[in-house]
Structure 1
Amino acid sequence: MTSPLVERLAQLGSSARIALHDDRGPLSFAELMDRALRVRGALLAAGARRAAGGRAAPRSLDGERIALLVSPGAPWVSAFLGVLLAGGIALPLSPLYPPAELAWLADDAGVERVLVSDDLAAVAAPIAGGRAVLRVEDVERAAPGPLSATSDLAADDPALLLYTSGTTGKPKGALLTHRNLAVQAELLRAAWGFSEQDVLLHALPLHHLHGVSIALLTSLLAGGATRMLPRFDAQRVAAEIARGSATAIMAVPTMYQRLFEQVDRGGAPGFAAGARALRLATSGSAALPVTLAERWRDLTGAIPLERFGMTEIGVGLSNPLDPGARRPGWVGSPLPTVEARITDDAGNVWAPGDGGGASAPGGGAAPDSASAPGGGVAVMRGELWIRGPSVFKGYLGREDATRAAFQEGWFRTGDVAERSGDGCFRLLGRTSVDILKSGGYKLSALEIEEALREHGAIAEVAVVGVPDEAWGERVVAVVVAAPGREAECATGPLRAWARERLAPYKIPRDAVVVPGLPRNAMGKVVKPALVKAIAEGRLPGR
């Protein structure tokens, strides 16, 4: 089967509509495809010269991994598409990675060539040795080949290599196929109402699934325009929203937090009106605190559309497009073609119809009878498994990890979730960092964090489990205090406040006040770093 991604690009390739608008100006779909085909031709020609002293260029790179160190904007997109059209696998890298991490990723992926923009040439130095480095400014000017030459690319050919965030262990390279990317873009186009009339404001990193697939490819393949910013800057994003030209924005919770800080400083005139005019605002890559969701609703009349996605699966669950049907703190229901199930520790599955209050098949955990929004009943808590055509091909060079990640065709997400009686899901956290085992109880760090955010003295908080002989894991709240309110966040006062709001076994045993939380490029708190720092006594005293 021919690549559906290439087929859709071919349909758009002659259009004069605006595809991208970066700081250099607008670029039509036809102009973008012309540049992408030039990149394709240059990669194939250069590969032939390196391999056989100038023989005729091959029709495909046959899955060669090509690293991208290109600044966000039209050159990045043309380089990315050019690699895909050449039959290569694109590995986007972040210029914020330290040299050792860049070198490790390039080595692990088996990269032999790197596409670099001039402004990042110095950043590419750690991976330049022994590898061919191509200037994107040069390859964009190469002779283009015909789009028809890409017809032999298949749906199951790998197209994109993205490394997992590494918040729970060493990153693994997830291989996503042409089919994965095309299916994901079509699912989100339909679910989120994207069309040729949309303008997506894009300020997400492009080395992550959220930025490259969920945002960029959804907008691009829907035929809409994408306003690409070089990076997230709260003042600039607020100004772009205030301008009113965008119809949609995709963000992570930290971005919403920074935008509100900009508003609170009085540095965002016109922002509220522009935000209300947006057709769609989504949030992902980390749990959206209910406090942020409700503040956005106070500003715009609707909470952001929250969904659940992972590098390995794309977006699998989503709240509805209808703002009135969204639930704060919940990530929605499976998208079409996506199946989701809840399992217990032994992999047993509970499904609606097995009988409320009954044990799961095979002796699994009994359904939880807590009430859920919308009149449903929270019927089951356990690990979330996902199956469908958007699920990835596997981990590069890690067959054992790939086998361990799947069971009978289902991908084991490693996230603990709760499913309501009407099929809506709520995430309770990663089994490795957010599900804490303390004093015989299984606790959700995300639930505890949500309760603590109601404290007016807490600006940000992360709850972690630190190894403890007596408790198994000691629950610790790591807090960024509001200015001048550090004393209220100390262990004694915070525990006293929490006693009125949390069950005794959920109350953090200790609180640590810090100036900031360690985060990765997508704004996720790197909890293992906090646990290690607490264990080694490197955080301030309690």
Structure 2
Amino acid sequence: MRLLNALHGPADDAYAVTVAGETLSRHELLGRAAALAAELGGVPMAAVHAAPGMPAVVAVTAGLLAGVPVVPVPPDAGEVERAHVLRDSGAAVVLSDDPAAAGESGLPVVPVSRTGHGTVPGEPAAETPALVLYTSGTTGPPKGVVLSRAAIAADLDALAGAWQWTGGDTLVHGLPLYHVHGLVLGVLGALRTGSRLVHTGRPTPEAYAGARGSLYFGVPTVWSRICADPGAARALRGARLLVSGSAALPVPVFDDLVALTGQAPVERYGMTETLITVSARADGDRRPGHVGVPLDGVRTRLVGDTGEPVPADGASIGHLQVRGATMFDGYLRPDGSAEAPLTDGWYATGDVATIGPDGWHRIVGRASTDLIKTGGYRVGAGEVEDALLLHPAVREAAVVGTPHPDLGEQVTAFVVADGRPAAGELIAFVAGKLAAHKRPRAVHLVAELPRNAMGKVQKSRLR
């Protein structure tokens, strides 16, 4: 089966993709991509200027048709970041209609928009690398994550089963085209399942409300803004599924979506290295603060600090490890090879979680920033953040551990609030909701929280 098998349907079928107002049928998209793919013969790696528009979708599709690994480059990348990605990946060309897309790298820029059609190449081997996505770690420059065609296909098929995602759906989102969420799920997913795709350019409440889709993707920031616009939220009542990912969805936002749209959102968990591995089901429970159960073909487990098993009792926090067909091939090496850092086939995600007896997962957060070891207790930052968000004055909250001479770490909160509630008031409020050792010992009121392009709070900057 072809990775993008839905592209090869009848020429007269419904449109495949609308991006920022431009629409192409499956036949038109396949023709444009095949024409570009014909020029990529012998190219070892192709970078794509991943601005939110049809050229990026055509360029990625062309690379996949040609069997050439694609490296999406964020359109707002600074010169240092762009230079690192282009140099480290070994990209030989940049696919873009913008002549300046290669920056100062000196790489040739190959125009994407063109007339004519090309011959569709044969399907590359399943183990062929499809994408190299750059992800930032805790130290050093971003690393290239190598994802095979087989891993992407396995993940999209598992998600299609879990979400009952079919060619009858219309998928709507406005997420960046250089991450797993917006590109792999949000574009390649539609081209594999055959669903229509409406990419709104930007994920605004107005754009989502006007798209009239059956399936919507968003990050917590998007859903929070939609809930702040009740008219836009109510316009989504006709949707079949609202999916949230890329960061934890605050429980108050979950509850607001239920009240305004009439349905609970589906949450899922994954990362660039593993793709999506855990999710709620379309026909199953939706539990606030939880991300569901492993997808078909995926296994998970919890281990302690020294590798000992942690019980799946719904309360014990452990380091989450995963294995399965959706795993990456590894981080790109200078010689172009890659090898995944596995232990007996298991990948250490760097996240801490609980797993209930029924298999439901709750992600506590990153072990490095969201697991706070204070006075002999292990406190999950997300639980404290959810408690703070229940206070009527609190709009946003981020909790980290900061050094403490007696406790080792103390629970410290950064809060965006209406008015200026006293720190003591917020501390007492959390103490009334959670165990006493989970209350913040310090609260800082801030104008805003630092976030990345996907809406994740950058807690390292708070520290």
TM-score calculated relative to the size of structure 2? 0.94
Q: Is the CA contact 1:43–1:86 (under 8 Å) kept in the aligned structure 2?
A: yes
Consecutive unaligned residues in structure 2, runs of 5 or more: none
The whole-number CA distance in structure 2 between the counterparts of 1:431 and 1:443 is 11
Larger Rg: 1
| Equivalent residue in structure 1 for 2:222, among 233, 238, 255 | 255
Residues 60-459 of structure 1 correspond to what in structure 2 (within 5 A)?
61=43, 64-118=44-98, 121-122=99-100, 124=101, 126-127=103-104, 129-137=105-113, 140-141=114-115, 144-147=117-120, 149-151=121-123, 153-166=124-137, 170-240=141-211, 245-263=212-230, 268=231, 271-322=232-283, 325-350=285-310, 367=311, 377-378=313-314, 380-397=316-333, 405-459=341-395
Match of 2:24 in 1: 27
Aligned counterparts of 2:46 and 2:90: Cα–Cα separation in 1:
9
514, 517, 520: which one aligns with 2:446: 514
- Note the alpha carbon deviations across 1:446-490, whole angstroms, 9 max, x for none: 1111111111111000001123343322321001112xx22x1x4
Residue 109 (structure 1) shift: 1.6
One-letter code aligned to 2:217 = M
Report the Cα distance in structure 2 between the residues aligned to 1:279 and 1:24, rounded to whole angstroms: 23
Aligned to 2:35: 38
- Secondary structure at the aligned position of 1:493 is classed as helix
Kept in 2, the 8 Å contact 1:342–1:380? The answer is: no
> Residues 303 and 319 of structure 2 are in contact (CA less than 8 Å); yes or no, is this contact kept in structure 1?
yes
Letter in 2 for 1:247: S
CA contact (8 A) 2:19 2:200 kept: yes
Q: 1:71 offset after TM fit, Å? A: 2.6
2:431–2:438 contact (8 Å) kept in structure 1: no
- One-letter amino acid matched to 1:202: H
Give the number of aligned pairs: 462
Q: TM-score, normalised by structure 1?
A: 0.80
Q: Deviations over 1:219-277 (max 9, x none)?
A: 2211111011222233333333xxxx3111000000011112233xxxx4xx3442110
Cα shift readout 1:40-81 (whole Å, capped 9, x = no counterpart): 01223xxxxxxxxxxxxx5xx3xx221111432332111101
**Aligned counterparts of 1:402 and 1:132: Cα–Cα separation in 2:** 26
Gaps of 5+ in 1: 45-57, 351-366, 369-376, 532-542
Q: Give the superposition deviation at 1:130.
A: 2.2
Distance 1:144 1:403, change over 3 A: closer
Counterpart CA distance in 1 for 2:289 and 2:302 is 18
